[in-house]
Chain A
């Protein structure tokens, strides 16, 4: 991995004030940059490293892997901890992650074992209780998407997990856990738990919970708060964008959040980058629903308090809902995507002819005849349908379909490959992808029926 560049003119690290906690957002997705997470630990003066790794469908995919004899947790974690664990041990950094996926206890045992093998003494805790398969089976609640009970689904359910809040994480942290591994929790809870434990914030203190949830929300996408996913060349440039420093939230007992990044790192923190991340994936900004609070950012005060530093105050909270959101994953067949390029004069017409050939042949195929087959012209209209005004030098035809199984996927793949010798002139560069997909459904269960638990584990 690339080494972290050092700058001798950097300011001294700030010393920790009493009544404050510094948390580093070490990832925006499972395979995010390891160098930036390591930089947070080595040079961010953080108390806690948070690693968010569990996208909506990831847990279902981990459950599928577990059924086939896999670990059930995010397997790349061990390789990452080779670098991170010794650094965290040197600095006394605590570690909170949802990488436990479908097997938080097994993941926690793996970490405890790794630490022991390296002579590192850590207390590792696992948070469980998010698997609500039995509860949902008993209650048979209505699905948001179909307005019918879960039992009407008719397809094999892969996983049923509730989005837990921060309570169990906070308890484990307060009890002295150095490493906390969870399955499905709401992303912001990975930060809120340590904040509650450190600052003594109670779950019924709505504005305090709101402050902690906002901090977590700003950390959970890593570089997206510090100049990632932001650059517009010439219009809004991001300094040293190839080595963006990941965000640090310093949360204080006066209910302020200060967002910074490791000194000397690339990226940018200002009103624009932080505002964009505050609103990211938010519906009603007066009621951003989490298991811990309904966050209200409509009276938030944002100040550029220093270079690459933003201070936030005035987060408000409305009481948390009495229900917990549950995500149900079911098998959704195989997504096949095949592409072929055409170039030069009249290339768009040739790509359209190729698409027409695929549609006509698929319509006559008993396995493909009833399937929706989408044809996109990449470089012309794949992201934004409509006619292009500008001529293009090359175009890529993409053929996509979600079919019941790999056999049907292979039929479609063969059809597109056959364009090489049977299709329009000059087609080239066929690439093929097919993978199993997961469909998710949403339902809600009473909070009182769900019991988050935590326990220390040994390696």
Chain B
């Protein structure tokens, strides 16, 4: 097995509602859906975000769209009402999710993608 950042396996977009963050995760290849479902659990996402998230993390599975949707509660330091963050809405937070390390087989094509892109 090899390790690779989720960044090379899936893409993500974040949105906000108050202090909650919504975050979609869409694998580039539908074949990776099960692999991501096993490893990118709500608990794993909670751990990846660490002190950024105080509340509950929920994962919704959408096998029909080959995608996942996460809701992270108490995740935006108060959101637009209270946050003093530069990125008040947490729009850049998809990058935190995509930095998560995932175990993949040694012959997974994403390893070649990473090698081709170089050190980004």
- Chain A interface (Cβ < 8 Å from any Cβ of B): 56-57, 145, 229-230, 232, 234-236, 271-272, 275-286, 297-302, 314, 332, 335, 372, 374, 376, 378, 382-385, 398, 400-402, 439-440, 442
A-B pairs with lowest CB-CB distance, top 7? A281-B15, A279-B24, A374-B84, A383-B92, A400-B84, A276-B13, A382-B86
Q: Are B60 and A285 in contact (CB under 8 A)?
A: yes
**Cα distance, A297 to B64, chains bound together (Å):** 9
CB pair B96–A284 under 8 Å, yes or no, is no
**Are A280 and B84 in touch, CB under 8 angstroms?**
no
How far is the CB of B47 from the nearest CB of chain A, in Å?
A: 14
* B residues in contact with A230, CB < 8 Å: 11, 13
Q: A234-B120, A283-B17, A440-B81 are in contact. List 10 more A-B contacts (CB 8 A).
A: A235-B7, A272-B26, A275-B67, A279-B65, A280-B24, A282-B69, A300-B65, A314-B64, A374-B85, A376-B85
By beta carbon, the residue of chain A nearest B116 is A234
A229 in contact with B13 (CB, 8 Å): yes
Closest to A441 in B: B81
Contact A383 B69 (CB under 8 A): no
* Given A283-B20, A285-B60, A285-B69, A276:B11 Cβ within 8 A: yes
Enumerate B1-31 residues with CB–CB distance to A below 8 Å.
7-8, 11, 13, 15-18, 20, 22, 24, 26, 28
B contact set with A: CB distance below 8 Å: 7-8, 11, 13, 15-18, 20, 22, 24, 26, 28, 51-52, 60, 62, 64-67, 69, 71, 80-82, 84-87, 92-93, 95-96, 113, 116-117, 120
Rounded to whole Å, the gap between the CB of B85 and the closest CB of chain A is 7
CB of A276 within 8 A of CB of B60, answer no
- A272 and B10 alpha carbons, distance in the complex (Å): 10
Q: Which residue of A lies closest to B68 (CB)?
A: A279
Q: A234, A271, A283: which has the most chain B beta carbons within 10 Å? A: A283
Closest chain-B Cβ to A134's Cβ sits at a distance in Å of 25
Show 25 residue pairs from A and B whose CB-CB distance is below 8 angstroms, ordered by the A residue. Answer: A234-B116, A235-B7, A235-B113, A235-B117, A236-B28, A275-B24, A279-B62, A279-B67, A280-B15, A280-B22, A281-B16, A282-B22, A282-B24, A282-B69, A284-B60, A297-B65, A299-B64, A374-B85, A382-B85, A382-B86, A382-B87, A383-B95, A384-B92, A385-B52, A442-B18
Chain A: CB-nearest residue to B96: A384
**With known contacts A372-B84, A374-B84, A280–B62 Cβ distance under 8 A:** no
Distance A297 CA – B85 CA, assembled complex (angstroms): 33
Contact B81 A276 (CB under 8 A): no
Nearest residue, chain B, Cβ from A335: B84
Chain A residue at smallest Cβ distance from B13? A276
Residues on the B chain within 8 Å of A335, using CB: 84
Is A275's CB under 8 angstroms from B69's CB? no
CB-CB under 8 A from B24, the residues of chain A are: 275-276, 279-280, 282
Q: Which residues of A contact B69 (CB under 8 A)?
A: 279, 282, 285
Bound Cα distance from A440 to B18, whole angstroms? 9
Contact partner, B13, options A56, A57, A279, Cβ 8 Å: A279
Chain A residues with CB below 8 A from B66, complex form: 271, 275
Contact A383 B20 (CB under 8 A): no
Q: How far is the CA of A439 from the CA of B96 in the complex (A)?
A: 27
Which B residues touch A302, using CB under 8 A? 64-65
Q: Of all chain B residues, which has the CB nearest A272?
A: B26
What CA separation (Å) do A271 and B84 show in the bound complex?
36
Residues in chain B near residue A271, CB distance under 8 A: 65-66
A3 to chain B minimum Cβ distance, whole angstroms, is 31
Instruction: Write out the residue numbers on chain A whose beta carbons fall within 8 Å of the beta carbon of B67.
Output: 275, 279
- CA–CA, A439 and B94, complex, Å: 25
- A398-B26 contact in complex given A283-B17, A298-B64, A384-B96, C-beta closer than 8 Å: no
When distances are taken between beta carbons in the complex, the residues of chain B under 8 Å from A372 are: 84
Q: Report whether B11 and A236 are in contact in the complex, using a CB–CB cutoff of 8 Å.
A: yes
Minimal beta-carbon separation of A257 from chain B (angstroms):
14
Closest to A402 in B: B84
What is the bound-complex CA distance between A382 and B66, given in angstroms?
32
B22 neighbours in A (Cβ, 8 Å): 279-283
CB distance from B106 to the nearest CB of A (A): 21
Q: Is there contact, CB below 8 Å, between B13 and A280?
A: yes
Are B84 and A298 interface neighbours, CB within 8 A?
no
Rounded to whole angstroms, the CA-CA distance of A385 and B51 in the bound complex is 9
In the complex, the chain B residue whose C-beta lies closest to that of A224 is B13
Asked whether, in the complex, the Cβ of B11 is within 8 Å of the Cβ of A378, the reply is: no
Considering the chains assembled together, what is the distance between the CA atoms of A335 and B116 in angstroms? 44
Residues in B with CB closer than 8 Å to A236 are 11, 28
CA distance A384 to B92 in the complex (A): 9
Find chain A residues with CB under 8 A from B20 CB: 283
A297 to B22: give the CA distance in the assembly, Å: 16
Residues of A near B96 (CB, < 8 A) are 384
A224 vs B69: C-alpha distance in the bound complex, in angstroms? 17
